[in-house]
Structure 1
Amino acid sequence: MLNQSIESITSKILDDLNIKTPSKIDVNKISRHLGVDVKAENMDFDISGLFIIKNNKPYIRYNDNEHPNRKRFTIAHELGHFVLHKEAKPIFVDKNERIMYRDGDSSTGEFRKEREANAFAASLLMPKSFIEKAIKKSPKETDDIVAYLAQKFKVSEQAMNFRLANLGYIGLY
């Protein structure tokens, strides 16, 4: 899946719900709109969330013990699996781990699906057009634009940094 088509898909979802500002991006409302049952669960510390289809009904469960921004990203990520991969394997469990290397599993397609779900979550929570407007309207005395935008979009600074880098605004260091 090309990133441009992911951007189009998330843009349509936001348009369908008449969401025009970062403060109106409600992942629970979006989930209801898409017909996905979302609930918090007490999960092991290394699991952020999961997406499963059971009896043709989609479910997302997320770790209630994590930071609110992490919960939002996890729900958006799992929605990415639902929207982009629901015809594939019926379950995705996302552990709170970072893959910092390529190994044999990276080329199997699962790594690609995780990257696509992350791109979907980033596009849904930090739409390009919303970021462009927020940058233009940012206070002139803003010392740290990444921190400012992360707070405005209710995401981690790391997530915002990746999004800005992927959109070509900044380089990752």
Structure 2
Amino acid sequence: MENTTEKGDKFEKKVYELLKKYINDDKYYINPKKSIVIHKYVCKKEDNNYRDINFDIVIKVYNTEEEKILAEKGENIKHYQMIAVECKSHNRKLSVQNIEYFHTQIENSRAKSGIIISESDFTEDAISIAKKLKIDLIVINNQNDIILKRNEDNYIYYSIFEILFKFGILDRNIQYFSKIKIPFISEKEIINIITKKFDYFSIYKNDRLDTDKVIYFFSNKYNITFEFNINLGDTILGLISFKKNTIFISNRLKYDSPRWRFTLAHEIGHLILHKQYLEKYMDIFEDNITDVFSENEIIPKNLNRRMEMQANIFASNFLVNNIFMEIHWYYFRKKYCITKNFLFYDNQHINKNMAIMFIEYVKYIFGISEEFATIKLVDLGILKIDKYISSINEDLVKLFSRIL
């Protein structure tokens, strides 16, 4: 078993190799030959420091390629920028003390900026003080390729690419990204894709998406590997690696629970709808670019939103077949002698109870959450909601307010 020092050294080397790969690869930069990545760097006391200061990694950036070459030969060439990198391989969230100590080191050295790269997340207080001290934060997990996730924090970076782009060490290659085209796909077209690709008995059982059948189907037909017992941190529920052909679901989610099922269906949506457009660009993202389909500077926001929306529409119709839903609605109406073709949720006892009864029934039949069931029924016109309702739980009040 690795001790703490060995684990830390291993993580440092991993980060060092990722940084070096980006900076030494001509494909991604305007002029990558102006930068040097140094592992185990010591800022000497004689360099105006009050003592020797050790950094895990530094990136030195020079004005010209010639200056960089001379510096590598040992000549005393002044860099115009030096960025200190601290690597943290901890199981716990990093605290304010970690941020403050690193900031002190930067302040007493010739470094102008600092980055902390961690395998775990940061406490809220640590994020707050990092913002104040202008220390950039990156979270990296064990997968060294593209990760698609839902990001819950707008300050922490989730890729080395993003942070190097911010510091101007690399420049986005417009030629590459301008080639990425994600076409508009209507919900009707997505439903047709699902209908053509999957037959009932391959993935459904009693109208419910059968998890075991889905895993078997995609493992055999698409050679997909599934990883469910993995710690993805506090903010990642699911991700897909196109490079490794693997879908990961956080072990924080209970297997086959409604949230777990939607996350799985969402990642399958990216696989079916987007892999053909993105896989040839995946070598660009060989570190841990998360939040690719959210708000970031790597892929245009309109594409991010389009891909997320399409994956959500896919998941909705993959989990709940509209024809199955209409059949269950038909028999529910018949059983309870409902004459109208919709349910009305308001403060009247009989209306409210009937709506809740069908929502609960849909949850059970399709294995979905109350929120998802409600949205689906509203979307299909089966459920209508009185905007003045007051006797529902707080979560549904928020949900209904979005719908209305």
Which structure 2 residue ranges, 5 or more long, are not aligned? 1-184, 338-352, 385-402
Correspondent of 1:61 among 237, 248, 261: 248
Task: Tell me the matched-pair count.
Answer: 165
Which structure 1 residue ranges, 5 or more long, are not aligned? none
Q: Do structure 1's residue 130 and structure 2's residue 130 form an aligned pair?
A: no
Residues 47, 63 of structure 1: 8 Å contact kept:
yes
Quote the residue 2:375 is aligned against.
162
**Amino acid across the alignment from 1:17:** S
How many Å apart are 1:137 and its aligned residue? 2.4
Quote the residue 2:315 is aligned against.
121
Correspondent of 1:44 among 219, 229, 233: 233
Q: Which has the higher contact order (CA 8 A, sep 6+)?
A: 1
Structure 1 CA distance for aligned equivalents of residues 193 and 226 of structure 2:
20
Residues 21, 130 of structure 1: 8 Å contact kept:
no
Structure showing greater radius of gyration is: 2
**Amino acid across the alignment from 1:27:** T
How many Å apart are 1:15 and its aligned residue? 3.3
TM-score (norm 2): 0.37
Alignment deviations for residues 61-102 of structure 1 (CA, whole Å, 9 cap, x no partner): 0012124111111011000000000023448857xxxx9xx9
Structure 1 segments of 4+ aligned residues over 4 angstroms from their partners:
90-94, 104-107
Larger relative helix fraction: 1
**Amino acid across the alignment from 1:135:** W
Structure 1 CA distance for aligned equivalents of residues 381 and 199 of structure 2:
22
**Amino acid across the alignment from 1:165:** V
How many Å apart are 1:49 and its aligned residue? 0.2
> Once structures 1 and 2 are overlaid, which stretch shifts more, 62-71 or 73-82?
62-71
Structure 1 CA distance for aligned equivalents of residues 253 and 203 of structure 2:
29
Structure 2 CA distance for aligned equivalents of residues 70 and 106 of structure 1:
28
- Percent of aligned pairs sharing the same letter: 26
SS at match of 1:38: strand
Distance 1:109 1:28, change over 3 A: farther
Structure 2 CA distance for aligned equivalents of residues 136 and 120 of structure 1:
24
Q: Do structure 1's residue 153 and structure 2's residue 347 form an aligned pair?
A: no
Correspondent of 1:140 among 324, 336, 354: 336
Residues 11, 127 of structure 1: 8 Å contact kept:
no
TM-score (norm 1): 0.79
